[in-house]
Chain A
């Protein structure tokens, strides 16, 4: 991993939650372009909190997070929002596809947040929908799709604006094993193909298997469990 290809760089991260309970400390993580890292751990260990900190939605007590060279700690809320909008993609366990927008509009949403050029946004979205195997479903709505298809739409939405970092929180938690396997393969392939840094938190070893590296989150940081 060369220093120049590192897109996500985390140093000495620590987080305590009200209680007070220390979730983790001294957490370091580097993810390179085109690399997918899976973070596993028991429930309540702080996986989702870590993702929120990486996305700038939550603050760490100590340490730093840098996305594509931009240090989150140096940004105010407006700048973090801007960074998230332009350089971060998300995939959630519950797919969060807006029911009153067409699938094409759902996918194009990150682009529509930055530019009023609807035609260009929809063209990119159509291309992305095609890439996830839903080429002819753009004018449909969420209620027409199965869970696996919805998650594919969510993956398309996470990638459409070519983010530097893609964060996935239990992306297959709501899917059956066969569908989960197909969606994970698609997700991992898309991350690598787009040259983004991917971080996926999961409690499933099977899901983690598609990642290039698997790390276990513990109170004293991340422990390398497997490298592909």
Chain B
């Protein structure tokens, strides 16, 4: 006798059994492998796109920053007084300093970052930003100091369709200036669209005299420099490292990327459930095979191994195919949608796919794990079955009297709810996702109880057609069997409904909000840093048909170096009655001398600002404001603060405005007044002003919203398709496995039509049960998405708006698909000769 009835000695038999099953049921293996492949492909593709976009965004940031060790940066585009430069240059620990003006500019339609720098200082601190003429380094210094010389990076040259030697018009800060392209910036990052001119030319010709935006530093002692500069810097400047700038860029899109990653994993999770369904059914179908093998001497671990080897193989094949598919998808997505998949986070960066081996290994492992875990429970069930009883096949294993347990589902749902109540971890809603996973597991675990409860009234009926009674009794007596078929579809439906409800609520909230904030008849906006000066504003106010004009200024304002800047909005706040201020909360009282600031909901959540609190904003050397209230804002994820226009002008001296809201006099038509206002604009400003009606703005905003969520919709659709494929596969597998039952019923006198009716009823009941359970669970999960994940990720709140049409559509599609699949599979199962079905050995 050998030492062990072990797996090694039985490997030949296991090989035969697994190989034979694959030849016998190739479609089952293919379907489950595809389910895993789709999940891995989506997850890997989204990860690759995010990673590639971030890498290129990072490159662009480095390209513009010139890889300085440390920089002093102005907190807003108003810049800082240039007299700060000599003080910074002389600070302890600073070896050299390079002052800089930074402007958002255009050459024709091409956007670029224009830097004005002192080439002598930059040569020592950020040499990659120093231009090279075609003749080589400019040793005579005549070209680099020429106020008309412009050096462009390769990307900027390509985007502007310019060449060295050309004359180009650069527009920035509302002014257009002609430059001569004197050379290139070979040291700049390939992804950066960058232009460099002399700092004096930039200050003089673009209206920035006396102001600088950045001072790049070369250090002798970083610690000493950080300490001395912290004491020296005014409130409207921050110390910023390359790491902080990377974090700033990453923070902007991190929540979006994490959510997209999680959504992609949903498809993988659904794939895992599908493997579970398929393997469970395969195990149920082969119960007597495993019983025979156990009788012949295969150990329990041998049976488990047989099922697990199948799962591992499905996982390996599916995961490898998924990685290949994911790379292709990422390439296609970057090619057609861009690095932010249409969400608008990485506007200026061009992106190519960067293969990430660690991510590939992780997603391979995830795909494999989904397949292995999906097989583990069926494998245990296969090994646990008593061989003698299974071989006899008497009465099968179903006992209609056996209660379906409700408490495991209740415990999991309660644990999920408790997890969802926990706060975010490093700004990410990790416990929210854990809560969703637990609730999903709870929902799936509760399906047998739910199915039985739902079918109880039908099962108690004694009247009705035989086919429908048989269908109801079968499902009522075997809810766990139905649950096996349903778990994939319940999971994918629930997640799809949750996402759809969240997006619908979000879209509804944005739509309502747009209706509230777009209260004017016309809007005028400038681009390329142009602004409406007081004289222009006065002329516009006198245009025929204009009733009232409200002017505003919007600037980015950096509160913390490692966070994206908030939007500073200067408008006539009118004690909170400005239409933009859709108030959520306001301070009970405001001292008369206090400067009011109205903070947006994301700003409140990000910086912890509460109504009535006094805060210091880095404006005009640091100014204390009192938070007058919190307003709803879905337009600025990084937060916004609104100060009164008059306070802003008094504090900064900036009399430019970049947006005008126009209220018309009664009886005037917006289009005609818009044209009349355009005539009032100076010629050089006219082409930088966009005149829009609120309906157009609303349409544009909602189009942008839909574009941002296009990938979400796509991922949802894939998840539901995987789920439907699961229903099709499991329904057909269950139907085919009942061939002998159908043969017996044919013997008893049921016609094939009655059998088809029975199967259609069963399929419809299964589909409907899945749809109702999935929708119910989805609405619960949606509450976590809306009230936990969204606020923790994006810092805005909303109320639930149920997409009734989508819910009804999903319920109808699932019910129809399940019924149709059952009938189609039943045609094959009932087409066989009834006698043959009964006597068939297996």
Contacts and interface: CB of A to CB of B under 8 A. Distances in A.
Interface of A: 48, 52, 55, 57-58, 77-78, 81-86, 88, 90, 92, 94-101, 105, 109-110, 112-118, 121, 142, 147, 150, 174
Nearest to A121: B12
Contacts of B1: 82-83, 86
Nearest to B836: A143
Interface stretch (B13-21, B31-39, B95-103, B352-360): B13-21
Given A57-B387, A99-B24, A101-B17, A82 B2 contact: yes
B16 A105 contact: yes
A48 B392 contact: yes
A116 B288 CA distance: 24
B298 A85 contact: yes
A49 to B, nearest CB: 8
A142 B289 CA distance: 14
Contacts of B142: none
Contact of A113 (B9, B289, B387, B842): B9
B12 A58 contact: no
Nearest to B295: A90
A121 B13 CA distance: 10
Interface of B: 1-2, 4-5, 8-13, 16-17, 20-21, 23-24, 288-289, 292-300, 302, 386-388, 391-393, 839, 841-842
Contact of A58 (B292, B388, B841): B388
A115 B295 contact: no
B12 A115 contact: yes
Contacts of A110: 296-297
Contacts of A97: 841
Between B10, B293, B297, B298, the greatest number of chain A beta carbons within 10 A of the residue's beta carbon is seen for: B297
Contacts of A90: 295-296
Contacts of A142: 841-842
Given A82-B2, A142-B841, 19 more contacts: A77-B300, A78-B4, A81-B299, A82-B5, A85-B5, A85-B297, A86-B2, A86-B297, A94-B841, A96-B288, A98-B20, A99-B842, A105-B20, A109-B13, A109-B296, A110-B297, A112-B10, A113-B5, A116-B9
A58 B841 CA distance: 24
Contacts of B9: 113-116
Contacts of A115: 9, 12
A84 B11 contact: no
Contacts, number: 103
B161 to A, nearest CB: 66
14 contacts: A48-B392, A57-B387, A81-B298, A82-B2, A82-B5, A84-B295, A88-B297, A98-B20, A99-B24, A99-B841, A110-B296, A116-B8, A118-B12, A142-B841
A115 B12 CA distance: 7
A95 B841 contact: yes
Contact of A52 (B296, B302, B388): B388
Given A57-B295, A142-B841, A81 B5 contact: yes
Contact of B292 (A86, A88, A98): A98
- Among A78, A97, A100, residue most surrounded by chain B Cβ atoms (within 10 Å): A100
Given A86-B1, A115-B9, A57 B388 contact: yes
Given A84-B296, A100-B20, A100-B23, A78 B5 contact: yes
A84 B300 CA distance: 13
Nearest to B5: A82
Contacts of A78: 4-5, 299
Given A85-B297, A92-B391, A116-B11, A98 B289 contact: yes
Contacts of A57: 295, 386-388
Contacts of B841: 94-97, 99, 142, 150
A58 to B, nearest CB: 6
Contacts of B298: 81, 85, 113
B16 to A, nearest CB: 5
Nearest 5 CB-CB pairings of A with B: A85-B297, A100-B20, A100-B24, A112-B13, A112-B12
A116 B296 contact: no
Given A82-B297, A85-B297, A96-B391, A113 B10 contact: yes
Nearest to B10: A113
Contacts of A147: 839
**Most chain B CB inside 10 Å of its own CB: which residue of A77, A95, A96, A147:** A96
A73 to B, nearest CB: 18
Nearest to B1: A86
A57 B24 CA distance: 29
A85 B295 CA distance: 8
A100 B16 CA distance: 9
Contacts of A116: 8-9, 11-12
A112 B14 CA distance: 8
Contacts of B20: 98, 100-101, 105
Nearest to A58: B388
A186 to B, nearest CB: 19
Contacts of B11: 116
B357 to A, nearest CB: 36
A94 B391 CA distance: 9
B24 A81 contact: no
Nearest to A85: B297
Tell which of A95, A98, A99, A101 has the most Cβ of chain B within 10 Å: A98
Contacts of A118: 12
A96 B292 contact: yes
Contacts of A52: 388
B396 to A, nearest CB: 14
A99 B24 CA distance: 8
Given A101-B16, A109-B16, A85 B296 contact: yes
A77 B294 CA distance: 11
A174 B839 CA distance: 9
A90 to B, nearest CB: 6
Nearest to A167: B295
B4 A82 contact: yes
Contacts of B21: 100
A77 B387 CA distance: 13
A114 B299 CA distance: 11
A103 B591 CA distance: 95
Most A CB contacts (10 A, CB to CB) among B16, B386, B387, B392 go to: B16
Contacts of B388: 48, 52, 57-58
A121 B387 CA distance: 24
Contacts of B23: 100
A164 to B, nearest CB: 11
Nearest to B297: A85
B207 to A, nearest CB: 82
B460 to A, nearest CB: 29
Nearest to B288: A96
B297 A84 contact: yes
A110 to B, nearest CB: 5
A55 B297 CA distance: 10
Residue in B2, B292, B387 with the greatest tally of chain A CB atoms within 10 Å: B292
A80 B232 CA distance: 84
